Amino acid sequence: MAKAELLQPFILKWEGGFADDPLDKGGATNKGITIATFRQFYGKDATVDQLKRITDEQWLHIFKAGYWDRWKADRIANQSVANILVDWLWASGVHGIKIPQRILGVAEDGIVGEKTLAALNAQNPAEFFDKIHAERIKFVEDIVRRNPTQARFIKGWKNRINDIKFTM
């Protein structure tokens, strides 16, 4: 079964420190945690200054509770599959659950339950990983097609997706 601690270094590698790019729809972000996500965990009055000083413990709590556990990734049989799915949820919200659910042929409700996990773990992991990889590339290309101002981010998005490798 997959382990969260094996994905954490990958995410932190791709997430820098504090940024507040006006063209980034996430707004103020630190280590990949947006201010909106930070407020979900630490209260609606949490400030950008508090986000700037996010502790390793706070980051880990958000990563685990908000992303890893939301995919119930401890129950995913293949680490690489867990990595690409949780990273997609991290990067793109509920699309990182609903689109894989569509591929799996289960209800696209954005909630990982027993049917989603059973369908996922019944897949050939290498083939499913390749399908998810292709869908993620298509997803970011579609973002840019719909909103060309986002084109400045696509190279980084694709580099990140391509950096996730499949291993048994």
**Using CA atoms, how far apart are residues 168 and 160, in angstroms rounded to an integer?**
20
Tell me the mean pLDDT in the region 142-167: 94
**Using CA atoms, how far apart are residues 106 and 34, in angstroms rounded to an integer?**
30
93-125 pLDDT tens trace: 999 999 999 999 999 999 999 999 999 999 999
Other CB atoms within 10 A of residue 78 CB: 22
pTM beyond 0.75, yes or no: yes
Q: For residues 154 and 136, is the Cβ–Cβ distance under 8 A?
A: no
User: Is residue 168 scored above 80 in pLDDT?
Assistant: no
CATH architecture of 4-163: Up-down Bundle (1.20)
Question: What residue spans define the domains of the chain?
Answer: 4-163
